[in-house]
């Protein structure tokens, strides 16, 4: 698994994982690339190609073992490893994420929230404490922090990401309406830009109305 | 503007819009494609190519008028038109979205939330009422609904999207962990799959650790 897998393939893997999980829930043990392709609205050849990047998993004429493939994709995605997340900004979005139990099932463990608001500091979301933002440095030094979720206004997000980078945090789940500077590609950043997603929706609505 | 613009270009337009907005906030009136490219970490030729899709806007050796370009991209994205949004599912994510005032500034108007939970029905988020899910049909018939945000568990999301499609809703902002069936491409769907975004983060963390 030393060769470079394209980010396009990586973007598709979680979707395979989701469909295979649904099949397990339905009691399906085996599926052909054709049946999977119909379900997922992609071509069977795309599925075979994507999975071949990781060594195949299928047997000609026999299909995929659903549970095995699900577990292998889980390992490829690193879901068998626990990732500790801290959330910077305990506002609406930060709290919504902290409330999301499904993340834990796939190995993402939210260990703390941070905020500057005295009304929030000391409170808990599902038992996860909201800390004073001033304690961030000490916390990161004393705990294993794998991912920082940035759910705060853009100027504050830039400032706190700089601080976190200094403290050695390398992976960011960025909900702030700003780009995290990553010129030398030393960071791993996943952006969730909600406004931009809405704007694409808007563009496509207008385009359809004109068509 | 009749020719088909690729979705890759469309995906980049909101980011231009964001950078231009930041420049306006900083009082910058004019910018060259080169300076913009340095700021955005893309090539100047990409910027020129992208904007040429919509007719250019720049003058050789003179740069772009920031405010004009910002407004034109806003029009291209349809942000000068008001889009009414209803939110199906008034849980944590639904409430977080309803609380987000920035969407209104770019023309997205959240007009109602819906839920089945009696503890939530009748309450309001920033003055936006949480309605009984049973009133959905009547509401959609009596109001202009442009976009439905789906912030509910996957089975419920599939059911309510079918209902909304029947009622004539064509655009979905989908936060549920499921795909909205759109075989004939008659719908406009923007997915925000938070778990999948976290999984890509996880994959890239492992890959970097191995490198």
pLDDT of the residue at B54: 73
pLDDT of the residue at B37: 94
Nearest by CB to residue A201, choosing from B173, B177, B195, is B173
Per-position DSSP letters for A55-118, written without gaps between them: T---BTTTBEEHHHHHHHHHHHTTTTS-EEEEEE--SHHHHHHHT-THHHHTTEEEEEEEES-T
Q: For A195, which residue in chain B has the nearest alpha carbon?
A: B103
When scoring A199, A205, A207 by the number of chain B Cβ atoms within 10 A, the one with the most, hence best to mutate, is A199
The verdict on a CB contact (< 8 Å) between B201 and A192 is no
Distance CA B184, CA B199 (A): 29
Buried b (16+ CB within 10 A) or exposed e, B86-122: bbbbbbbbbbbbbbbeebeebbbebebbbbeeeebbe
pLDDT of the residue at B102: 81
A164-167: long-range pairs with CB below 8 Å, 24+: A164/A88, A164/A136, A164/A140, A167/A136, A167/A137, A167/A140, A167/A141
pTM of the model: 0.91
Residues in contact with B88: Cβ distance below 8 Å, sequence separation at least 6, in sequence order: B94, B113, B114, B133, B136, B148, B149, B150, B151, B152, B157, B160, B164
Tokens found for residue A189: 């950043």
Angle between the A7-25 and A66-76 helix axes, to the nearest 10 degrees? 140
The minimum CA-CA distance between B43 and chain A, rounded to whole Å, is: 13
pLDDT of the residue at B36: 93
Low-confidence ranges of chain B (pLDDT < 70): 1-4, 56-61, 210-211
When scoring B41, B73, B199, B208 by the number of chain A Cβ atoms within 10 A, the one with the most, hence best to mutate, is B199
**Residue (of B28, B176, B17, B155) closest to B94 by Cα position:** B176
Q: What is the dihedral of CA B28, B33, B34, B35, to 10 degrees?
A: 20
Q: Quick check: A190 and B197 in contact, CB under 8 A?
A: yes
Cβ–Cβ contact A173 with B under 8 A: yes
Query: Residue B110: phi, psi to the nearest 5?
Result: -80, 120
Tokens found for residue B83: 């889009």
Q: Indicate the length of chain B as a whole number.
A: 211
Tokens found for residue B26: 């900083």
pLDDT of the residue at B52: 83
The verdict on a CB contact (< 8 Å) between A177 and B208 is no
The verdict on a CB contact (< 8 Å) between A206 and B78 is yes
For chain A, which domains are there?
A: 7-76 (1.10.10.10), 83-196 (3.40.50.720)
pLDDT of the residue at B14: 94
Q: Write down the mean pLDDT value for chain A.
A: 91
Render pLDDT for A29-80 as a digit per residue (tens, 0 to 9). Answer: 999 989 999 999 999 999 988 888 877 666 666 788 999 999 999 999 999 9
Render pLDDT for B77-109 as a digit per residue (tens, 0 to 9). Answer: 999 999 999 999 999 999 999 998 788 888 999
Cβ–Cβ contact B54 with A under 8 A: no
**Residue (of A69, A79, A90, A77) closest to A132 by Cα position:** A90
pLDDT of the residue at B5: 76
The minimum CA-CA distance between B99 and chain A, rounded to whole Å, is: 7
> How does pLDDT run along chain A (211 residues), one tens digit per residue?
445 678 888 889 999 999 999 999 999 999 998 999 999 999 999 998 888 887 766 666 678 899 999 999 999 999 999 999 999 999 999 999 999 878 888 899 999 999 999 999 999 999 999 999 999 999 999 999 999 999 999 999 999 999 999 999 999 999 999 999 887 889 999 999 999 999 999 999 988 876 6
Residue with tokens 């003055």: B127
Cβ–Cβ contact A103 with B under 8 A: yes
Cβ–Cβ contact A79 with B under 8 A: yes
Cβ–Cβ contact B185 with A under 8 A: no
Q: Quick check: A136 and A163 in contact, CB under 8 A?
A: yes
Which one-letter DSSP state was computed for residue B135? G
Which one-letter DSSP state was computed for residue A28? -
């Amino acid at each position: 698994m030393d060769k470079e897998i394209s980010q396009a393939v990586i973007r598709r893997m979680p979707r395979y994982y989701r469909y295979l999980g649904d099949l397990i829930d339905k009691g399906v043990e085996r599926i052909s690339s054709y049946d999977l392709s119909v379900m997922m609205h992609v071509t069977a050849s795309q599925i075979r190609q994507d999975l071949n990047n990781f060594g195949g998993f299928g047997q000609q004429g026999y299909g995929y073992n659903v549970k095995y493939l699900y577990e292998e994709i889980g390992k490829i995605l690193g879901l068998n490893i626990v990732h500790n997340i801290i959330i910077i900004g305990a506002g609406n979005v930060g709290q919504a994420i902290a409330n999301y139990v499904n993340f834990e099932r796939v190995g993402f463990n939210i260990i703390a929230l941070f905020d500057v608001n005295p009304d929030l500091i000391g409170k808990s979301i599902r038992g996860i404490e909201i800390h004073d933002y001033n304690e961030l440095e000490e916390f990161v030094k004393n705990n294993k922090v794998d991912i920082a979720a940035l759910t705060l206004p853009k100027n504050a997000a830039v400032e706190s990401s700089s601080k976190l980078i200094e403290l050695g945090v390398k992976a960011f789940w960025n909900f702030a309406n700003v780009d995290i500077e990553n010129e030398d590609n030393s960071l791993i950043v996943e952006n969730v830009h909600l406004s931009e997603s809405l704007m694409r929706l808007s563009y496509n609505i207008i385009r359809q109305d004109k068509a």
